[in-house]
Chain A
Amino acid sequence: MTAMSPSERRLHKELMSLIKEPPPGVTVDTESVQQNLSEWKLNIKGFEGTLYDGEDFQLLFKFNNKYPFDSPEVTFIGNNIPVHPHVYSNGHICLSILTEDWSPALSVQSVCLSIASMLSSCREKKRPPDNALYVKTCNKNPKKTKWWYHDDSV
């Protein structure tokens, strides 16, 4: 505890507040976090009254030692990847705050809120148009993708 780096200190604080006051529909998989502070698994529920009502998803957050000056790597994992125009079937998410619009003033909580609102505002369950090609050719790390954000509404 004594020799925590600034990025570990920040993660520790975020984790505490996320466990204490989680945003609606989000729970932390504390077991995963206890093993490794730099990889968190979060459960997120599809909200009532949206296309994802009753579904459960799992998000994986990976942090490097530059966090929060560098964005976390965030992907959907598990066997239920939401079918959404900005979510590829390998779990990669096209969301600008995860790359170029990231700011250290954002947090795990604000990323969760953005993802929840992205899901909630969806009108039609479908994969991105280039899903097949992207999934075949992309890097494992979604942050290595040169995203082309074309939809500012989410």
Chain B
Amino acid sequence: MSFILELITSFVRKMLELLTFGGKTLTNTLKIYVKTNTGRTLTVNLEPQWDIKNVKELVAPQLGLQPDEVKIIFAGKELSDATTIMQCDLGQQSTLHAIRMRPPTIQREKLLSMSLEEEEPTGTPTEEASKPLNETLLDLQLENDERLNITDEYRVRAKAHFFVHCGQCDKLCNGKLRVRCSLCKGGAFTVHRDPECWDDVLKPRRIPGHCESLEIACVDNAAGDPPYAEFYFKCAEHVSGGEKDFAAPLNLIKNNIKDVPCLACTDVSETVLVFPCAAQHVTCIDCFRQYCRSRLGDRQFMPHPDFGYTLPCPAGCEHSFIEEIHHFKLLTREEYDRYQRFATEEATPPPPCGTLGSVVCSALPQS
């Protein structure tokens, strides 16, 4: 009996693995870098079915520690022992952070010394290990009341999904959300809460957290307030090119979790672009390209003072300009070249780099 069960579970696992890695890798073993806050980086090979406890057992001896003295941080979360590697959206050559647990006495001492000078910082959160961010994060389209009353069935569908324009793959790709400290840029950072809307992700100083990337925890100001999280995106479809391999988030591209038909072709597509108008008009990606193409042909893009050369919602709604102009990278290379030429001719300086999220334009090849 148990033999059959095992057979079934291994089959399901195989299928899941196929899904997760798109069948690109022949072996499912992941080569992962483990960074410590003492400046060391270990290279380990992890099996997808392993859990975090296994990782601790593998890493701790190399650091001269006991497994229970180590905590593993990934994408803004301290991972619980039961979390499996498969559950994290780790790709080949991703980086995990292994941090030595601070003995509790030191923490208390530190707090005491702080409270002598200043009032105790409000709401020092109790940190506890959890599931990875990609498992817990719900789609940012959902309103607060929708988040609270979500059914388990819907939860699977409503899991957060991100899209990026990847300069290396030169196309619309699935994206991975990553978190680092806004001060030291280190990845051993745990968030105090999950982001709940795009502003939480794209705008600076929204979500505080705890940074352990350096021996001494980062603080935001002299009062010792916690530092803020900085969110960024990576392409999930090519092997990570290191911590600086960013991709531009396309925040208007979404999974069509509410099955809205395209405004233009009326098809219900899986992936759609939702315009930032009050009516939240939706087009499929093909129709969005067609829209851009037709407006580009008539030179009807608008030079917006803040966003650059852009388009509003095709239904002509108010306050509906596309703010992140990387969305126009969905056009073909020739069309995008033309877009850039027109934009230059219309002579509106592009918005300064890094105003949206933490996209560093040098990481995006200028065509």
Chain A interface (Cβ < 8 Å from any Cβ of B)? 5-7, 9-10, 13, 66, 68-70, 101, 103-105
Contact = CB atoms under 8 A, between A and B. Distances in A.
Interface in B260-291: 263-267, 281, 283-284, 286-287, 290-291
Given A13-B265, A104-B264, A105-B315, A70 B294 contact: yes
Given A69-B264, A69-B294, A101-B316, 19 more contacts: A6-B290, A9-B265, A10-B264, A10-B265, A13-B266, A66-B293, A66-B294, A66-B297, A69-B287, A69-B314, A70-B294, A103-B314, A103-B315, A104-B263, A104-B264, A104-B315, A105-B263, A105-B281, A105-B315
Contacts of B263: 104-105
A69 B266 contact: no
B290 A69 contact: yes
Nearest to B287: A6
A66 B290 contact: yes
Interface of B: 263-267, 281, 283-284, 286-287, 290-291, 293-295, 297, 314-316
B316 A6 contact: no
Contact of A103 (B266, B284, B316): B316
Contacts of B287: 6, 69
Contacts of B295: 69
Contacts of A68: 264
Nearest to A13: B266
6 contacts: A6-B287, A68-B264, A69-B287, A70-B294, A104-B291, A105-B263
Contacts of A6: 264-265, 284, 286-287, 290
B24 to A, nearest CB: 28
Contacts of B290: 5-7, 66, 69
Q: Shortest 10 CB-CB distances between A and B: which pairs?
A: A66-B294, A103-B315, A69-B294, A10-B265, A104-B264, A69-B291, A104-B314, A105-B315, A68-B264, A6-B265
A105 B317 CA distance: 11
A70 B267 CA distance: 19
A42 B209 CA distance: 64
Nearest to B284: A6
Most buried by A among B264, B267, B295: B264
A140 to B, nearest CB: 19
A75 to B, nearest CB: 21
A100 to B, nearest CB: 9
A55 to B, nearest CB: 33
B22 to A, nearest CB: 26
Contacts of A105: 263, 281, 315
Nearest to B315: A103
A66 B293 CA distance: 8
Most buried by B among A5, A68, A104: A104
A7 B284 CA distance: 12
A2 B265 CA distance: 15
A6 B314 CA distance: 15
Contacts of A70: 294
Nearest to B292: A69
A13 B263 CA distance: 13
Contacts of B314: 69, 103-104
A114 to B, nearest CB: 16
B330 to A, nearest CB: 14
A101 B316 CA distance: 8
Nearest to B295: A69
A98 to B, nearest CB: 14
Contacts of A7: 290
A103 B267 CA distance: 17
B299 to A, nearest CB: 13
A90 B167 CA distance: 53
A70 B316 CA distance: 12
A16 to B, nearest CB: 11
A5 B264 CA distance: 12
B267 to A, nearest CB: 7
Contacts of A9: 265, 267
A66 B294 CA distance: 6
Nearest to B313: A103
B262 to A, nearest CB: 9
A104 B266 CA distance: 10
B272 to A, nearest CB: 13
B332 to A, nearest CB: 15
B316 to A, nearest CB: 6
A68 B294 CA distance: 10
B301 to A, nearest CB: 13
Nearest to A100: B316
Contacts of A103: 314-316
Nearest to A12: B265
Nearest to B281: A105
